[in-house]
């Protein structure tokens, strides 16, 4: 956009604007800058333009497993799930059995991300996700044990940043389970604020831990907690602040956050004690190091990587965070949906299945919607990761919203199961999932921080078409060069805002009828709604950024609402992508409509709240007729749509199988397997039950005696009733097995070593 000849424009407009923007530029720490700069953009950047290319979305190849990956899922992964008794793991052993640990190592579950040339499995992101998802449908403890070495840990860091010598030595050992890794980042004082980390390393001379010769290295002191696999780890990836007070490396004293590999057997290391996270028995605990000396070449990437630790961590997290917890969340949600639909069909109250009550149907519909949406978003994210992209913003969206929605889904499942899910024991397939929910919400970046600061804060800088270039121009040490660059970019940005405002006005005033959609789709209306929401989001984002500037960093509630709209756009896009990739099955349409209807309500609410809370009231008043000229769509799914969506989970069908594919459903007397057989029998016997009701028969026996059914049909009904009785049964225990913990089990110093009296 040229509002004046370039020289005059620069003098009259750009120079004053450049000076004003420089003064308003917020201060930013190195850790903040590295966190915001790291990673790649993908569909998130397309949404930020306000005019996404839907054909690009639909043309993105759907992920597919190789024959080898599918064989691993059908073979070792299924056998692993069959080996695990989650009640025994969490209640009796407080650990995975030795044979399970051995199986994990033998079949290289800890080396899924490690290439074959280094002895690993070399799986795609999709295969990695499918393995975690299947295991999580059996045991959260086992899933966490497998996913951590394949997520943020030494393996990923070595692959991205390790020296060739480090990769050659460590990666084969990690892949074969000869070394068990953990990663030490969180400390008591710092939590999510890495800049406040108190763990220190000091450059000094010392004795090499293995050769004994005098070498230049680091003396480390640290205190970490919440470290998964820490109690059993043989090698610790350690994050610390490195300093060189004696200037042995150069003129700089504070060298920044650095990451090193530290074998856990070294003198001065205290490791082995355990936390008990929400009564989940995966290995997790604190560790300390006092005056632990390690040579410089144990830094991941060698001495050249001194001070790069935070960038390295953010880069690794951009991959792992998009796979691990979203996969676990998708598993928990799909299992909740499948079992709750089955239970609502077989469990009767007042003479009818509880799934026929509308209050229960509302929960079932939400379960189906969340299950479909999370799995669609999970597989879509894996498509991007398998292109080699480090999706920092999308991974943050997935981590936060997958775990939040998992909580909603598991809560709904608990409500429908009622007492069946409250009474713990081997028959309770939801209790462990319910207790594990806070773990997912807390780890790998607490959700409150992620939602309020990261999603939009990082998204704006990484995904906005012009903001990043403008910031670079403003931060340029060469003022003249910065001004020239700023002049080129800022007026393009102005043109973008004007075009976005016009586009938004046109789409919203037409009720989305003039918004674009891809050709040949049966859900064109949903695409048009998202087109309109995308341009609305882009305009609101620019309005907030320009009116608040650096203050937006402190306006967390506004940032969260903008991030919520971006997240809803991404998740809804994934739903439509999944529906397209599946071939638009008509039977799946209710759940697709349900997902998009809920997404629209949530986005409309966020828009209203942004307009209500923008500090510049004049701007908010001017924006309202553009972004929300008509009454916001607060209707949500209709009652008819809720019932149709709920019925998808209560009827054997291809849709139900697509919604919950890839789970481990148990065998034999496993509670989920018993429920599945009861569900199948009840559905199979439904015509017989209807025949008995029409004949006013009080029982199958009466129906047999009156000739309404034959002996074979009577046997089927009796078998179904027997299976239902087993499926709805709960556990009870001998009082001796529930003996309370004794007072003398507790140790001093505020710690406890807890045992159950036999």
**Catalytic sites, residue numbers:** 444
* Pairing assessment for the beta strands 254-263 and 269-271 based on DSSP bridges: unpaired
Which of helix, strand or coil describes residue 456?
helix
52: left (phi over 0), alpha (psi -120 to 50) or beta: beta
Which pairing describes strands 284-295 and 269-271: parallel, antiparallel, or unpaired? antiparallel
Cβ atoms within 10 Å, residue 403: 25
Contacts (Cβ under 8 Å, ≥6 apart) of 548: 555, 558, 615
**What is the rounded radius of gyration, in angstroms, for the C-alpha atoms of the chain?**
29
CA pair distance 690, 631, nearest whole angstrom: 46
Give the residue from 134, 186, 197 showing the smallest Cα distance to 317.
Answer: 186
Which one, of 192, 579, 649, 605, lies nearest residue 400 by Cα?
192
Question: CA–CA separation, 62 vs 326, rounded Å?
Answer: 18
- Mark residue 23 as left, alpha or beta (left: phi above 0; alpha: psi -120 to 50; beta: remaining): alpha
Q: What angle do CA 16, 17, 19 make, to 5 degrees?
A: 65
Instruction: Write the DSSP assignment of 17-58 as a string of letters.
Output: HHHHHHHHPPP--HHHHHHHH-S--SHHHHHHTTS--HHHHH
Concatenate the DSSP letters of all residues of 329-371 into one string. HHHHHHHHHHHHHHHHHH-EETTEEGGGSHHHHHHHHHHHHHH
Nearby residues of 618 by Cβ (< 8 Å), 6 or more positions away: none
Q: Taking Cα atoms as reference points, which of 566, 486, 579 lies closest to residue 45?
A: 566
Q: How far apart are CA 755 and CA 757, in angstroms?
A: 6
Contacts 24+ apart (CB under 8 A), 480-484: 482/18, 483/10, 483/14, 483/15, 483/18
Instruction: Report how far residue 634's alpha carbon sits from residue 605's, in angstroms, rounded to the nearest whole number.
Output: 8
Identify the CA nearest to 372 among candidates 598, 147, 528: 598
Long-range pairs for 731-735 at CB < 8 Å and ≥24 separation?
Answer: 731/423, 731/424, 731/425, 731/426, 731/427, 731/428, 732/425, 733/425
Instruction: Tell me the backbone φ, ψ of residue 237, rounded to 5 degrees.
Output: -80, 115
CA–CA dist 83, 69 (Å, integer)? 20
Torsion 10-12-17-18 (CA) sign: positive
> From CA 360, how far away is CA 649, in angstroms rounded?
12
φ/ψ of 238, rounded to 5, equals -115, 125
DSSP state of 739: P
H helix or E strand, kind and range, residue 216: strand 214-228
3-state SS string for 535-591: HHHHHHHHHHHHHHHHHHHCCHHHHHHHHHHHHHHHHHHHHHHHHHHCCCCHHHHHH
d(CA 126, CA 132): 10
3-state secondary structure of 237: strand
Given a contact cutoff of 8 angstroms between Cβ atoms, the answer to whether 430 and 353 are in contact is no
């Amino acid at each position: 956009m040229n509002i004046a000849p370039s020289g005059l424009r620069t003098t009259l407009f750009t120079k004053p604007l450049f000076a004003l923007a420089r003064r308003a530029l917020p201060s930013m720490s190195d850790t903040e800058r590295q966190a915001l700069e790291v990673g790649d953009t993908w569909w998130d950047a397309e949404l930020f333009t306000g005019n996404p290319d839907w054909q690009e979305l639909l043309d993105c190849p759907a992920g597919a497993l190789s024959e080898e990956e599918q064989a691993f899922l059908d073979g070792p992964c299924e056998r692993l799930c069959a080996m695990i008794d989650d009640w025994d793991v969490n209640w009796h052993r407080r650990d995975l059995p030795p044979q399970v640990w051995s199986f994990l190592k033998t079949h290289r579950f800890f080396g899924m991300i490690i290439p074959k040339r280094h002895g690993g499995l070399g799986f795609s992101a999709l295969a990695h996700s499918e393995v975690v998802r299947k295991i999580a449908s059996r045991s959260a403890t086992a899933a966490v044990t497998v996913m951590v070495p394949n997520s943020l840990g030494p393996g990923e860091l070595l692959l991205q940043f390790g020296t060739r010598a480090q990769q050659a030595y460590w990666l084969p050992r990690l892949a074969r389970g000869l070394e068990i890794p953990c990663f030490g980042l969180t400390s008591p004082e710092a939590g999510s604020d890495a800049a406040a980390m108190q763990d220190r390393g000091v450059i000094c001379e010392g004795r090499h831990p293995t050769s004994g010769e005098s070498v230049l290295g680091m003396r480390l002191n640290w205190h970490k907690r919440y470290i998964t696999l820490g109690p059993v780890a043989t090698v610790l990836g350690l994050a610390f602040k490195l300093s060189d007070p004696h200037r042995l490396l150069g003129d700089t004293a504070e060298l920044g956050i650095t990451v090193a590999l530290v074998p856990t057997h070294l003198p001065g290391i205290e490791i082995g004690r355990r936390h008990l996270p929400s009564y989940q028995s995966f290995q997790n605990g604190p560790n300390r190091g006092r005056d632990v000396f390690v040579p410089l070449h144990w830094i991941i990437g060698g001495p050249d990587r001194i001070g790069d630790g935070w960038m390295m961590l953010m880069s690794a997290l951009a991959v792992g965070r998009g796979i691990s917890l979203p996969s676990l969340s998708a598993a928990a949600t799909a299992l909740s949906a499948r079992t709750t639909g089955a239970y609502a069909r077989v469990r009767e109250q007042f003479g009818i299945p509880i799934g026929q009550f509308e209050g229960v149907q509302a929960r079932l519909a939400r379960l189906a919607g969340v299950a479909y949406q999370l799995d669609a978003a999970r597989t879509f994210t894996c498509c991007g990761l398998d292109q080699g992209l480090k999706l920092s913003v999308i991974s943050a969206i997935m981590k936060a919203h997958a775990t939040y929605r998992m909580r909603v889904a598991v809560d709904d499942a608990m409500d429908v199961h009622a007492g069946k899910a409250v009474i713990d024991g081997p028959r309770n397939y939801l209790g462990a999932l319910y207790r594990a929910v806070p773990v997912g919400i807390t780890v790998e970046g607490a959700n409150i921080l992620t939602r309020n600061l990261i999603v939009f804060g990082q998204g704006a800088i990484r995904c906005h078409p012009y903001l990043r270039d403008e910031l670079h121009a403003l931060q340029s040490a060469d003022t003249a060069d910065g001004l020239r660059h700023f002049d080129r970019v800022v007026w393009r940005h102005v043109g973008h805002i004007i075009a976005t405002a016009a586009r938004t006005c046109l789409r919203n005033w037409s009720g989305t009828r003039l918004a674009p959609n891809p050709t040949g789709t049966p859900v064109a209306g949903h695409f048009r709604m998202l087109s309109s929401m995308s341009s609305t989001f882009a305009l609101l984002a620019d309005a907030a950024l320009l009116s608040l500037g650096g203050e937006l960093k402190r306006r967390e509630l506004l940032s969260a609402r903008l991030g919520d709209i971006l997240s809803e756009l991404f998740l809804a896009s994934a739903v439509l992508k999944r529906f397209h990739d599946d071939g638009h099955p008509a039977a799946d349409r209710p759940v697709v409509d349900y997902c998009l209807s809920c997404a629209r309500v949530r986005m409309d609410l966020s828009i209203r709240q942004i307009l209500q809370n923008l500090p510049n009231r004049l701007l908010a008043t001017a924006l309202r007729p553009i972004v929300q000229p008509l009454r916001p769509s607060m209707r949500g799914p209709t009652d008819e749509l809720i019932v149709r969506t709920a019925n998808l989970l209560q009827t054997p069908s291809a849709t139900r199988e697509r919604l919950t594919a890839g789970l481990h459903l148990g065998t034999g007397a496993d509670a989920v397997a018993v429920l599945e057989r009861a569900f199948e029998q009840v559905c199979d016997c439904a015509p017989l039950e209807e025949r008995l009701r029409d004949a006013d028969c009080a029982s199958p026996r009466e129906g047999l005696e009156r000739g309404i059914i034959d002996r074979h049909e009577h046997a089927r009904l009796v078998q179904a009733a027997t299976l239902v009785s087993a499926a709805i049964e709960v556990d009870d225990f001998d009082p001796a097995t529930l003996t309370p913990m004794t007072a003398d089990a507790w140790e001093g110093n505020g710690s406890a070593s807890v045992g159950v009296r036999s």
